[in-house]
Structure 1
């Protein structure tokens, strides 16, 4: 009985001392894959509008920002966090990605959150924040909710 208490205390100490610098995947798995669905800001060109009597007003092209549906992928594996952003989130002069996945820097993974930063180029930067309690995610202008993806390729959801 006493040995069980010692082992339990040691495992609790190890869990608490893990800290934010060490990636912690869910129990029994080596990696964590998340699929996040939400919306992203996109630059849109708006065509000339019509005035109050219905005649077209040709004042040029107007540019604005609109929210568009988007999907974000997050992968935590071996202490490394990678992200697959929607195409609308990638800046024009972004560095190349391996199969669309970008490796994050300044990673902090703990029991309640996943955080990291991505340097797209010399100017553009985005930060990732995933709340592991409710699945809320933000990455640059993207905002959405994450769900855990299937562990194996042949696993079905329903």
Structure 2
């Protein structure tokens, strides 16, 4: 009787856990359109001459730009993967498979999709998709997501 009560309690706790509810049965393709920050190296020549003296030099620095980006998320059979925009992929280390990276610590509820993507040795950005508003964040990426078709619908144009 005691073992049956423990099994029933564990089953009830698993049923109430929103991060595991329905994840194994969930099949979802999401496309997020937005923007992310990139660091650009900038170098230019400057003229320093005055009073008839000609002198020039080079100035080098970094600037932060915001560029358009697209992020894709696929959830199948309790696992998820993310197609990372090129500007967010690491310059060093192992590349993702065709730009796709596995999502670790996946937690799916009725209101959100959360996880962590390990991009190389240093970077592990968090993925957060609000299932009510469609808002998404992933590292410096921010955007709005829409559900993508499950199957190819033929040519778009």
Tell me the TM-score normalized by structure 2.
0.75
Aligned twin of 2:29: 33
Larger Cα-atom Rg: 2
How far apart are 1:22 and its partner, in Å? Answer: 4.3
Whole-angstrom CA distance in 2 between matches of 1:44 and 1:96: 21
How far apart are 1:45 and its partner, in Å? Answer: 2.3
Aligned twin of 2:151: 152
Cα offsets for 1:21-74 (capped at 9, x unmatched):
34548xxx85100000000111112343879xxxxx845122111100000000
Aligned twin of 1:112: 111
Q: Secondary structure at the match of 2:87?
A: helix
Q: Secondary structure at the match of 1:125?
A: coil
Aligned twin of 2:6: none
Aligned residues: 138
**Distance change in 2, residues 1:155/1:70 (3 Å):** same
Aligned twin of 2:63: 64
How far apart are 1:18 and its partner, in Å? Answer: 4.9
Structure 2 unaligned residues grouped into runs of 5+: 1-11, 48-55
Q: Secondary structure at the match of 2:73?
A: strand
How far apart are 1:97 and its partner, in Å? Answer: 1.6
Whole-angstrom CA distance in 2 between matches of 1:157 and 1:136: 25
Deviates more, 1:57-66 or 1:96-105: 57-66
Task: Decide whether the 8 Å contact of 1:22 with 1:110 is kept in 2.
Answer: yes
Name the structure with the higher strand share. Answer: 2
How far apart are 1:93 and its partner, in Å? Answer: 1.6
Q: CA RMSD in A?
A: 2.9
Structure 1 unaligned residues grouped into runs of 5+: 1-12, 52-56
